[in-house]
């Protein structure tokens, strides 16, 4: 009925997630609160891991893209599900290492890594550093030399694919701050420099063509472009790169009308391309990494709010203002992202009330959704914004000094805290 498998309605007419009554959760943990279903997360992790087994005979590694939602508990789950981790900052790396995530299964990304972050990654022994630019390559070689280490790297390549997604989250074209373009010669220049760097071991290449992509073709095309480049490297330098990281970006359903291709289908089809095309080019099938983020946690989460005010402006619109907003979910203000919203305590009633759901921040654009249909609501009702597991908690801010909500993890109907909600004391804790 709803966008996610883990969401349902119980006999009281309340919305449930992972078998837990969201109205009860709102009472227990307060609102706003992010709620995630652990079983749904693990189900997605397992499907990706199995797809590497099935399609590549296990010759690959699924890296959970922790930028989608990074906290200790998610790192523990990813570790428990035999996944690696994609981290993009010292903070994400620190979170992973704090739960003893095996460093060799961590890939460190970023287009503007700080010197201190590179030192941290080398000291920690992260498995692969995904090098984005020449400055980083030179700096990393110097750091490794000083520490008498050799660092395994992949180079981030722009395959130049135009994936049909929102402009702001398209990262594969030439005009992107990420990586080296092939056609300008930058990518080959980086390969030569990496091969000539005494403390760098260039093992492969990486690409990521964007996020929330519904079609499979752009991924297939990207895989081919990358294999072509690997052949080009072999011909030009004699080096045979053994690893190919195809990034993340698999689209999920935010609206019931969305129809992304299931990621299992993506894995199957792309692996066929990787295998047949490698053979055609005379290359060995590389070790494959994929980096799903949104598709692991997105649909496993929702956010609970309490309705504070219902304000109808005749002939204009009705604002339903809640006790959270752009601070805990900046995706509407950033990308005009779609969401389905349900009144959790009236979930069995018809959604025939057209409203704009607004936040409590001092900013007109602080909206969560415009002209969306929800049940007829009044102050005190609980609203659930669905599919907020990815890029909500991780992109949250303290704008207006509003504390960030807790992250609640549900498993088989039972709930526990994964991240405590912030207090006012937390808000001033670093003020001098
Ligand atoms: N790998 C790399 C190198 C990435 O840059 C990303 C996402 C991923 C993997 C994971 O992509 P996913 O499977 O989650 O689509 N804040 C935006 C999304 C930005 C994605 C950035 N990179 C949003 O809220 O939609």
Task: Look at residues 294, 317, 334 and tell me which one is the last residue of a structural domain.
Answer: 294
* Closest CA to ligand 1's atom 24: 391
Angle at 45 between CA 338 and CA 57, to 5 degrees: 125
Question: Residue 1: inside a domain, yes or no?
Answer: no
Question: Residue 304: inside a domain, yes or no?
Answer: yes
Residue-level pLDDT at 83: 98
Question: Around Cβ 252, how many Cβ atoms within 10 Å?
Answer: 23
Q: Does residue 1 carry a pLDDT above 70?
A: no
Q: What is the mean pLDDT of residues 339-351?
A: 98
What atom in ligand 1 is closest to the CA of residue 109? 3
Q: For residues 271 and 333, state if they share a domain.
A: no
- Domain of 396 in residue numbering reads as 7-37+298-421
CATH number, residue 385:
2.40.37.10
Ligand 1, from 44, 65, 166, 222: best to mutate by most atoms within 8 Å of Cβ? Answer: 65
Question: Residue 178: inside a domain, yes or no?
Answer: yes
What atom in ligand 1 is closest to the CA of residue 130? 3
Question: Residue 429: inside a domain, yes or no?
Answer: no
Q: Does residue 167 carry a pLDDT above 80?
A: no
Task: Look at residues 276, 294, 312 and tell me which one is the last residue of a structural domain.
Answer: 294
Residue-level pLDDT at 82: 98
CATH number, residue 288:
3.20.20.10
Q: Which two tokens stand for residue 345?
A: 């305590």
Question: Residue 432: inside a domain, yes or no?
Answer: no
Q: What is the pLDDT of residues 19-45, one digit of tens each?
A: 999 999 999 999 999 999 999 999 999
Q: What is the mean pLDDT of residues 283-295?
A: 98
Q: For residues 249 and 319, state if they share a domain.
A: no
Domains: count for the chain: 2
Contact present, 248 and 295 (Cβ < 8 Å): yes
Residue-level pLDDT at 55: 96
Question: Residue 427: inside a domain, yes or no?
Answer: no
pLDDT grade for 160, boundaries at 50, 70 and 90: confident
Strands 341-343 and 7-9, by their bridges, are unpaired
User: Could you list the active site residues?
Assistant: 362
Residues with CB under 6 A from ligand 1: 65, 67-68, 86, 109, 169, 171, 208, 211-212, 247-250, 291-295, 331, 335, 390-391
CA of 357 to the centre of ligand 1 (A): 26
CA 6, chain centre distance (Å)? 19
Range name among 57-66, 140-149, 170-179, 344-353 with the lowest pLDDT average:
170-179
Q: Does residue 171 carry a pLDDT above 90?
A: no
Q: For residues 308 and 336, state if they share a domain.
A: yes
Phi, psi of 159 (to 5 degrees): -75, -5
- First-to-last C-alpha distance (Å) of the chain: 51
Q: For residues 67 and 191, state if they share a domain.
A: yes
* Closest CA to ligand 1's atom 16: 391
Range name among 100-114, 171-185, 302-316 with the lowest pLDDT average:
171-185
Question: Residue 430: inside a domain, yes or no?
Answer: no
* Beta bridge mates, 341: 385
Q: Does residue 326 carry a pLDDT above 90?
A: yes
Q: For residues 48 and 177, state if they share a domain.
A: yes
Task: Look at residues 244, 267, 294 and tell me which one is the last residue of a structural domain.
Answer: 294
What atom in ligand 1 is closest to the CA of residue 294? 14
Question: Residue 331: inside a domain, yes or no?
Answer: yes
Ligand 1, from 168, 251, 253, 291: best to mutate by most atoms within 8 Å of Cβ? Answer: 291
Q: For residues 276 and 361, state if they share a domain.
A: no
CA of 210 to the centre of ligand 1 (A): 7
**Stronger pLDDT, 164 or 334, i.e. the higher one:** 334
Q: For residues 43 and 32, state if they share a domain.
A: no
Q: Does residue 119 carry a pLDDT above 90?
A: yes
Q: What is the pLDDT of residues 72-103, one digit of tens each?
A: 999 999 999 999 999 999 999 999 999 999 99
């Amino acid at each position: 009925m709803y966008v996610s498998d883990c969401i349902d309605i119980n006999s009281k007419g309340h919305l449930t997630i992972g078998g837990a009554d969201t109205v009860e959760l709102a009472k227990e943990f307060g609102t706003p609160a992010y709620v995630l279903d652990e079983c749904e997360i693990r189900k997605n992790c397992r499907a990706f891991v199995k797809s590497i087994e099935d399609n590549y005979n296990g010759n690959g590694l699924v890296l959970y893209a922790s930028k989608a939602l990074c906290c200790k508990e998610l790192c523990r789950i990813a570790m428990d599900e035999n996944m690696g981790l994609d981290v993009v900052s010292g903070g994400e790396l620190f979170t992973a290492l704090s739960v003893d995530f095996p460093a060799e299964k961590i890939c460190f990304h970023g287009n503007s890594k700080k010197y201190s972050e590179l030192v941290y990654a080398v000291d920690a022994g992260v498995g692969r550093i995904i090098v984005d630019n020449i400055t980083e390559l030179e700096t990393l070689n110097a750091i490794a030399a000083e520490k008498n280490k050799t660092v395994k790297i992949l180079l981030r390549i722009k395959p130049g694919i135009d994936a049909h997604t929102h402009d702001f989250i398209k990262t594969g074209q030439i005009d992107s701050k990420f990586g080296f373009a092939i056609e300008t010669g930058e990518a080959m220049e980086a390969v030569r420099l990496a091969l000539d760097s005494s403390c760098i071991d260039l093992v492969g290449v990486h690409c990521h063509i964007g996020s929330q992509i519904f079609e499979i073709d752009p991924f297939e095309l990207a895989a081919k472009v990358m294999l072509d480049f690997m052949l080009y490297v072999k011909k030009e330098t004699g080096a045979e790169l053994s690893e190919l990281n195809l990034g993340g970006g698999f689209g999920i359903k935010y609206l019931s009308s969305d129809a992304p291709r299931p990621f299992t289908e993506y894995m199957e089809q792309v692996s066929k391309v990787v295998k047949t095309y490698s053979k055609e080019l005379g290359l060995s099938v590389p070790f494959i990494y994929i980096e799903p983020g949104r598709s692991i946690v997105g649909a496993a989460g929702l956010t609970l709010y309490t309705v504070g005010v219902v304000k109808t402006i005749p002939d204009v619109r009705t604002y339903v203002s809640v006790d959270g907003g752009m601070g805990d979910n900046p995706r509407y203000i950033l990308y005009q992202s779609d969401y389905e919203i349900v009144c959790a305590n009236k979930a069995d009633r018809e959604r025939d009330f057209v409203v704009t759901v607004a936040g409590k921040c001092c900013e007109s654009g602080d909206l969560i959704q415009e002209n969306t249909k929800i049940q007829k609501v009044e102050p005190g009702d609980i609203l659930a914004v669905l599919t907020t597991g990815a890029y909500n908690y991780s992109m949250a801010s303290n704008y207006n000094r509003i504390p960030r909500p807790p992250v609640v993890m549900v498993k088989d109907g039972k709930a526990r805290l994964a991240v405590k909600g912030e207090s006012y004391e937390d808000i001033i804790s670093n003020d001098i």
